[in-house]
Amino acid sequence: MTVTRIDVGGESPYEVVVGTGVLGELPGLLGPRVRTVAVVHPETLPEIARPVCGAIEAAGYEVVRLPVPDAEQAKTAEVAAGLWSAFGRHGMTRSDAVVGVGGGATTDLAGFAAATWLRGVKVVQVPTTLLGMVDAAVGGKTGINTPEGKNLVGSFHPPAGVLCDLATLMSVPRDDYVGGLAEIIKGGFIADPEILRLIEEDPQGARHPEGRHTRELIERKISVKAGVVGADLRESGLREILNYGHTLAHAIERVEDYRMRHGEAVAIGMVYAAELSRLDGRIGIDLVDRTRAILTSVGLPTAYRRDAWPALRDHMRLDKKSRGATLRFIVLDGVAQVSTLEDPPEALLEAAYGEIAR
């Protein structure tokens, strides 16, 4: 299979490499000055880190394996502190490197640990889930959660490169894979309508890593994110569009104590954002219906508990897009036409939630 290279520009440019058997690129990304490489991976999935460690060791580097908890349980200050202690015990210097292997939570944590150790060491991301490949591992955003909210502590720290080995998707549990489709669909609504057309053409195929449009969908979504973050690494403007659906999604994740998949929460959040857009007079019911239809066709949820609104509204106050007391939502003016809705009236927020409540 051919290899696709997607450039991410900006102040620290790098490549996202997509293909099968791309681990051979890893030593070149680490470079000749690196001596020790810390490989951060989920503790329950040592097998996903084994070929990565093997490729690094074969190139003559010293490998330190650092297993961490699964999923969002890894993104805590305590786990990050454990990584810093391990870096210190193994004598990692500013010329050494971190490799994050796993889903989005693992790559977020690995990137944050690299960004904060000695004020920044090299990191290479090797995402092994659909969500990690098309979103979390690309863009240089790193972070951990706090009891008050998701990703409230973090840093912008672009990787030296991202390696997406499509073969790893074959072992991803089906529900996790479908969850990752939410971020791909988001890319269609905010920037690339062809993504929506491909999913509408073959929704069942989209649910499988061997689907006929799978690779194109992945590459298109990575290209969307690469274009945005290359122009706005630090989320000072354009990059905010990537948060479409995420204001409510992060609140749902907090209410669920992170037991709900990120993609499932984002799917619900996108319907909510679409309803906000409609009720604010920006789009028609046809685009809201299309949002629901596409998400439902691949098996993603589009509604949430009616009684959860007070808790959700409380958690949204700490959304990282907020400015002071002003709550801000990314909304649609049409397909691939995005704007910001600032400080919407409480009645509008509640009415939009009424449209997705069950």
Query: Any idea which residues carry the catalytic annotation?
Result: 119, 141, 183, 225, 235, 239, 243, 246, 250, 262
* Cβ(113)–Cβ(84) below 8 Å: yes
Return d(Cα 42, Cα 20) in angstroms, integer: 22
- The answer to whether the annotation marks 104 as part of a ligand binding site is yes
The identity of residue 1, as a single letter, is M
Residue 105 is assigned to a ligand binding site: yes
9 appears as a binding residue in the annotation: no
Question: Is-contact 75 143, C-beta < 8 A?
Answer: yes
Report d(CA 288, CA 294) in Å as an integer: 10
Q: Is 343 annotated as a binding residue?
A: no
73 is in an annotated binding site: yes
Q: Strands 97-102 and 36-42, how do they pair? A: parallel
Token output for 331: 């909304």
> Is 107 annotated for ligand binding?
yes
**DSSP-based three-state secondary structure for 303:** coil
Token pair belonging to 153: 């502590």
75 is in an annotated binding site: yes
The reply, when asked if residue 187 is annotated as ligand binding, is no
Tell which residue, 49, 65, 52, has the closest CA to residue 21. 52
Q: Which two tokens stand for residue 204?
A: 């069942």
Q: Judge whether 221 is annotated as a binding position.
A: no
Give the span between the Cα atoms of 317 and 30, in whole angstroms.
Answer: 40
Confirm or deny that 321 is annotated as ligand binding.
Answer: no
71 is in an annotated binding site: yes
- Please answer whether residues 156 and 141 qualify as being in contact, where contact means their C-beta atoms are separated by less than 8 angstroms: yes
E strands, the chain, are 4-8, 14-19, 36-42, 62-68, 97-102, 122-127, 141-146, 149-156, 161-165, 328-334, 337-342
324 marked as binding residue: no
Annotated binding site for Zn(2+): 183, 246, 262
Binding-site residues sit at 70-75, 104-108, 128-129, 141, 150, 183, 246, 262
Residues forming the annotated binding site for NAD(+)? 70-75, 104-108, 128-129, 141, 150
